[in-house]
A and B are shown apart, each in its own frame.
Chain A
Amino acid sequence: MSQKPEKLIDKKGLRLDGRKPEELRSIKIQVGILPNADGSAYIQQGKNKILAGVYGPREMHPKHLALPDRTVLRCRYHMAPFSVQERKSPAPSRRDIELSKVIREALEPSIFLEYYPRTGIDIFVEILQADGGTRCASITAASLALADAGIPMRDLVVACAAGKADDTIVLDLMDTEDKKGGADVPVALMPNLNAITLLQMDGILTFEEFEKAVNLALKGCREIYTMQKEALKAKYESVKEVEE
């Protein structure tokens, strides 16, 4: 095991995967790919491969957990055992449970919960392959799955992380940068309302670095948002308009 610190940014200012500091990984999004789920979306971001499915609003099971005046949102973030280098046990880890909670809390503000009392909406996120930034990509996919399910929303939710690699503030960290870098700041945003619904951070940042990281993450969010909208519309533009 090498003890020498690996340089994350080379002399030309490029990262380990050739990206510039403020560059996103390559992203591909598809909506409505699971026939049984009420809504679904698939996202590939760098080496991340993530599937999100939504069921609901539907009758709540178990019934006693239903709320009289609103819908109950449940979210499960789960990693496939083969998604990471060392096989991960399929049982939910403490990290899985925390991520399920913060992802749910990132999506909740976008949904009109009061519209469907006594029902439940279930969001399932499966990480098929992980390479850093899975909670952000999960939120981006899950929000599209909710929209695909026809659930009324205030806005889409899009997420992206920024952080520190060596001494540079970088956008969209991959796993090596997250593990070896100085900080990781995942952010989720409702773009039209300019509302931050997920914000976490680990590492060490001065106020100025933190401000730079947050602004860079928000910029990344807005870039990914245009891709979200394109993916939503692509599903419905497959039939050409015929003139009357």
Chain B
Amino acid sequence: MSTFFESRQLVAPGDLLAEGTYVAGENTYKENNKIYASRLGLVQYEDKNVNVVALKAFYIPKLGDTVIGTIVEVGFSGWTLDISSPYLAILRASEVLSRPFRPQENELSKVLDVGDLVIAKIIAYDRAHDPRLTVGEPGLGKITRGQIVKMTPTKIPRVIGRKGSMVSMIKQETGCHIILGQNGVILITGKNLEDEQLAMMALRKIECESHTSGLTDRIAQMIKKEKAKQKEELNSESKT
């Protein structure tokens, strides 16, 4: 019964993490009583669980997840969306239109067209079929304004922070509304472009430094500094 790394050490695929009666968690696999890493990331030992927080991964659809995607194709009975995943997602017309749908009469592209951004929820997914989406719940639907930030989905928990501390801090400091798609796509809507850009900068910094500690405070400090800088620029402009 032994472990071979320290918690939060960087491990590569194939690294032997533990041997004995441990449970293979995220981004690991077990073979002959040995647990190996399957992705590059930071190893975590929690009781009997061994898992790796991957530095980069891609999104695999999960039932119930909220995702933000882009329409890439308008079909006869629905739309196809790019949800930044190996799999394209399907949004059926029946999930969007409240009244019965007649293909000859209703033109789907008038409702949602190629290039539109949508917040949706995954209602069906299995190994044999592409994921199916719905927008029939409050908070879901076409996105009309805001900024999009894409990052590897493994970093979304870092953006949320412990008990939501990180994302609430950003919302407070920038005054922006932030929607986090489980697929690593984030929507920022603020009162003006400067606020939105501030939030985007914060998110980009989290993405780069997600594996470090004390991040929440550093991000808060950065935002405050930027806001002060912006205020100064505004003051000097109004003086001239």
Residues of A at the B interface (CB closer than 8 Å) are: 38, 56-59, 68-69, 110, 112, 116-119, 147-150, 152-156, 190-193, 228-229, 232-233, 236-237, 239-244
Contacts and interface: CB of A to CB of B under 8 A. Distances in A.
A18 B43 CA distance: 42
A190 B16 CA distance: 13
B87 A59 contact: yes
B40 A232 contact: yes
A239 B218 CA distance: 14
Given A57-B86, A116-B86, A150-B54, A192 B214 contact: no
A237 B212 CA distance: 10
Nearest to B82: A59
6 contacts: A117-B127, A118-B128, A155-B36, A233-B10, A233-B40, A242-B212
Q: Is the interface of A mostly helix, strand, loop or mixed?
A: loop
B1 to A, nearest CB: 19
A147 B52 CA distance: 14
A241 B88 CA distance: 38
A150 B39 contact: yes
A32 B86 CA distance: 20
A242 B214 contact: yes
B19 interface: no
Contacts of B218: 242
B143 interface: no
A67 B54 CA distance: 27
Contacts of B87: 59, 118-119
A154 B36 contact: yes
A242 B213 contact: yes
A106 to B, nearest CB: 15
Contact of B58 (A57, A153, A190, A242): A57
B208 A239 contact: yes
A193 B14 contact: yes
B88 A59 contact: yes
Interface string B28-64: 0100000010111000000000000011111010000
Interface residues of B, number: 31
B126 to A, nearest CB: 10
A147 B12 contact: yes
B27 interface: yes
Contacts of B212: 239-242
B40 A154 contact: no
A155 B211 contact: no
B85 to A, nearest CB: 9
Most buried by B among A57, A152, A233: A152
B63 to A, nearest CB: 17
The 9 residue pairs across chains A and B that have the minimum distance between CB atoms = A155-B14, A150-B56, A57-B86, A153-B13, A152-B38, A192-B14, A244-B214, A150-B57, A119-B86
A192 B213 contact: no
Contacts of A233: 10, 12, 40
B209 interface: yes
Contacts of A193: 14
A150 B13 contact: no
Nearest to B34: A192
Given A192-B36, A242-B214, A147 B13 contact: yes
Nearest to A121: B86
Contacts of B39: 147, 150, 152-153
Given A117-B127, A156-B12, A192-B15, A150 B86 contact: no
Contact of B13 (A116, A156, A241): A156
B38 A153 contact: yes
Contacts of A156: 12-14
Given A69-B127, A156-B13, 16 more contacts: A38-B58, A117-B128, A149-B56, A150-B39, A152-B27, A154-B29, A154-B38, A155-B13, A191-B14, A192-B16, A236-B10, A236-B40, A236-B55, A236-B211, A239-B208, A243-B214
Q: Among the interface residues A59, A117, A150, which one has the most CB atoms of the partner chain B within 10 A?
A: A150
A57 B212 CA distance: 28
B152 interface: yes
Interface string B131-149: 0000000000000000000
A147 B40 contact: yes
A71 B212 CA distance: 34
A233 B43 CA distance: 13
A196 to B, nearest CB: 15
Contacts of B36: 154-155, 192
A50 B115 CA distance: 37
